[in-house]
Structure 1
């Protein structure tokens, strides 16, 4: 039995919130233009697979929830690696935000019950 606390519905809510935060927080925090463009793209790219994953908040239930769970680690790795880009390394605020975001997204993936039926 998997005792991880994040259900498919909670995972979907967190995914939508994380995508929304990438659109809003960089502006509110006054991040540099390059980082804002990167985050805008990163917010919009996963929305289709979030919205099409078989979970209670899906727009169209096409992608198995377990498949979603196999895609997410690649997104998190990409967030971690982008900390090495000059747009992030040269600004403490952008770097700290990116590392924190990577940690939150990573914890979400690690704590999700991927075996739970949605």
Structure 2
């Protein structure tokens, strides 16, 4: 049994949105990585609000589908510093790699089949 259920995952996601918004200020990041972090925060916030679990508001996306988005996002986030040309910015590059590691870690620890989530009807 994996330790992170749907409700805990949602709470983690909302916390991650806050951290993604604050990171550019806290780390004094340049324009491109900052804009990408704001975009990621927006996407994650919308995905979380639309997911069918207790922390979700609209409950339109099944929780396992949310997990698929998380997994795909982790691969994309890992590649962004090189794709968008800021891999030479050590702080930004390392932040994106840390975000990737956290995304994968939370994904691996989340029980995507938990009955704790809300079923779509």
TM-score, normalised via structure 1 length: 0.91
Q: Is structure 2 residue 10 aligned with structure 1 residue 29?
A: no
Deviation at 1:46, TM superposition (A): 2.5
Q: Is the 8 A contact 2:17 2:45 kept in 1?
A: yes
TM-score for both structures, normalised by structure 2:
0.89
> SS state of the match for residue 58, structure 1?
coil
Number of paired residues?
A: 115
**1:64-83 to 2 correspondences below 5 Å:** 64-83=62-81
Match of 1:10 in 2: 8
Task: Quote the residue 1:20 is aligned against.
Answer: 18
Q: Which residues of structure 1 form unaligned runs of 5+?
A: none
Displaced runs of 4+ in structure 1, greater than 3 A? Answer: none
RMSD of aligned C-alpha atoms?
Answer: 1.1
Map of 1:28-67 to 2, 5 A cutoff?
A: 28-67=26-65
Following TM superposition, by how much is the alpha carbon of 1:53 offset from its aligned partner in structure 2, in angstroms?
0.7
